[in-house]
Amino acid sequence: MGSSLAGQVAVVTGASSGIGRAVAKILAAEGCPVGLIARREDALRELAAEITASGGRAAVGVADVADRGQIESAVAAIRNALGPIDLMIANAGIGKPTQLDPVNITDVEQTIRVNLLGVVYTFATVMPEMLARKAGRLVAVSSLAGYRGLPGESAYCSSKAAVNVYLDGLRIHLRGTGVGVTTICPGFVKTPMTATNTFHMPGLMEADDAAKRIVRAVKRGKKVFNFPWRLHLMTKLSRWLPDRTIAWIMSDYNEQAATGVPKPPTL
């Protein structure tokens, strides 16, 4: 895939809001027919109408990415409407705090199912056709949180770490096939997930800014793209901090999470 995406059929999951919505709009402006997937049909229809009004092409597929049958049906409908898929961006994700007493097992299961298996299911819908054509790119929006386990965020961090490792293996496995793999690890982005955060979010950026960086990384064929770089450096350095320091940094967050009030992930 070269520097231009014009004419490439792209699909974005989690396209109803936040990063996914912003990425879909940029891809449409780049000349991509865009497939939009999320659970909220009304928001998808609104976005599709906006893209069409601007001269682009869009198709909608309603699905929960954690449901293999739903994502398969949604991608099939988009393929029928727009043609073979060249670029798949698995962006859909959720985040809920990990609690201790009682352990919120249902939330942990859902986080891993959406964030990890959602990527696996999404990629599986297009990988055979990409391999047959010897062309295409698979992109997953992970998180800098995948590089460091954080108290109160064990499920979220581990789900994103698993995405990173899964894509590492997939990228190497697909060498020589013509199918590329890109892992995107953003920091704090203004989205509905971070809107209720009460703590300081270093490097917080607008969804449109994040989306521009993501599309630029895809066009360049990046293997892994971590941003913003200062927060990425802080995340790497945090692996050397003592556990007691991380516990102190996260103490306010975990006190809030323990009340049962839903909180979005830290990254």
Q: Which residues are catalytic?
A: 156
How many CB atoms sit inside 10 A of residue 258's CB?
13
Q: How many Cα atoms sit within 13 Å of 18 on the Cβ side?
A: 19
What is the greatest pairwise CA distance in the chain? 55
Q: Which two tokens stand for residue 67?
A: 């449901």
CB-CB contact of 92 with 66 (8 Å): no
Write the CA distances from 18 to 62, 189, 267, integer angstroms: 17, 8, 14
Which residues have CB under 8 Å from 144's CB, separation 6+? 185, 186, 187, 226, 231, 232, 235, 267
Residue 168, exposed/middle/buried by CB under 10 A (0-12, 13-18, 19+)?
Answer: middle
Question: Residue 205's closest CA among 240, 221, 223, 229?
Answer: 229
